[in-house]
Chains A and B, each alone.
Chain A
């Protein structure tokens, strides 16, 4: 890994200067530019219902991305999130075959998410294993269980009021998912930026040993973050299953990549220690607008994934290239 040099500046920047130069404002400018470009590129873009539809492109991923952001800031990663969705969705599908109530279905989805998060937490925090390999393993294990249960079959037959979570609208074009997304964004913003817990997350990401000797229960904080990531994957599973109305073992395949991309695009340092929730919110909009805009231009999904992959590498590479060029 590269070593980074740290400088103490002679003159501190004013708060306004800092804000203008920040990653978030740059990202916001990009988001606005994409918005304008899209409205010129397609006549169907500036339509309240179309824009509302566009939010479904990112709300579920963003819900996970908030929890993932905290996890990555603390120096860990969870690549099993998409597989947790598959397993939670499979569990809900299996339960739906027994005509259980919608509330029970939701609780099962969230419970399975939480349980998967706990499993990751035990392996990473309890046994001290590296999170990358553990979650590559559980990524295969969780989805593997879905395949064992379902094989090439699919679960359908969800109760009709279950559809509300993924297809319902709270007010005019404002969908339930979007409201949930906004609510979760605010909660995570407060958690990361306004609480002791949030400070502990940053401290762990910057120096885990130092944090431990400052009296932070490192393993407990990390375990909670894995639990939260599992829980958010459960929430996303409820929304996604409700929106699709069916469960296949391949549900949400490859979504972990888009979640990580969203987090990194939002200015979170992949090596841990820095990042913000507003950044991730704007990144969610950027990715949603890009995929929606490309969709309106009839670009196939797999070609969009090239953009996502390039975006992931590009956002990290460009600032570094810029720095190299300046030297």
Chain B
């Protein structure tokens, strides 16, 4: 099993290297270390969100509200900063993560206590959260000049790497340990892999799914703060449709949408793959309007490859029964 995952991650790493090689033939400076670090920094929000989505997808759920959660926490952070310029940035950061956690917990409670299918819950909360941004901001933008210097400096602050990259690295490290070394981490895999067996081993399936949504929400909250402080602007439509990129990163990273299969490394590599494409397109003179179609194709190809690879061949008893699978 781990062997299979490892090989899938190797394939993906290979694909990224090949991709970089192709870009390098037309534009060698793209693979200069400083530029690659720039690409990583640019992809950091996607990496953080993909890790949250990984946890949710592992438990057989899906969270389509991440981008709306990101936008709402981002807007709240920006408005707090404008209203109380003296408020410590760390406090705003904590409030953003807290708010994200609450929004994620709301999704989780609906899935856990009411048993509503996750796709319905998060499609609904996606529009609700997005609508709330409009209500609290009155449709107005929060612009760069209104934000305090300290607020904007957070993701740019450099300790070898920009703070934004460090946030991603720390999140990846924490979740790598949590998913492989803790009871809750293994419970996520158990719930998605075989819910019935998970119940018999004493795991509460609904509550585990609830925690998955809480983590996804908290990470979306963190990203919301980072996003707004990095781009120094907040409005209703920030990160519109970004949930698709996040799901795409997970699917490309070999995370099975049917739950139970996937790794933190896969999510990171899937996000990096999309990040490299996104950053390479303008370099090789392809209009950014191509990006949406490329993400879509990447999702379809990745899911086709994943499903093909993981399909177990059964013995055929009835010839015609073949079409069922």
Contact = CB atoms under 8 A, between A and B. Distances in A.
Interface residues of B, number: 52
A306 B139 CA distance: 14
A8 B299 CA distance: 44
Given A137-B299, A257-B127, A132 B134 contact: no
Interface string A131-157: 011101111111111011001000000
Looking at B128, B236, B325, which has the most chain A CB atoms within 10 Å of its CB? B128
A148 B127 CA distance: 26
Given A218-B324, A257-B127, A306-B132, A151 B117 contact: no
B20 interface: no
A308 interface: yes
A141 B117 contact: no
Contact of B323 (A144, A219, A271): A219
Contacts of B21: none
A132 B119 contact: yes
Given A129-B303, A313-B125, A148 B289 contact: yes
Interface stretch (B163-171, B176-184, B210-218, B244-252): B244-252
A282 to B, nearest CB: 19
Contacts, number: 152
Contact of B62 (A132, A137, A142): A132
A123 B303 CA distance: 10
Contact of A305 (B110, B130, B251, B295): B130
Given A133-B299, A300-B134, A144 B110 contact: no
Contacts of B299: 133, 136-137, 140-141
A12 interface: no
Q: How many A residues are at the interface, by size bracket?
A: 35 or more
B287 A123 contact: no
A130 B127 contact: no
Interface of A, secondary structure class, is: helix
Nearest to A312: B124
Given A140-B296, A212-B323, A303-B134, A2 B291 contact: no
A320 interface: yes
A133 B248 CA distance: 9
B234 interface: no
Contacts of B18: none
Contact of B293 (A129, A148, A151): A148
B135 interface: yes
B258 interface: yes
B134 A302 contact: yes
Interface in A297-327: 300, 302-303, 305-306, 308-310, 312-313, 316-317, 320-321
Nearest to A305: B127
Interface in B234-291: 236, 244, 247-248, 251, 257-258, 287, 289-291
B28 interface: no
B300 A141 contact: yes
A142 B244 CA distance: 13
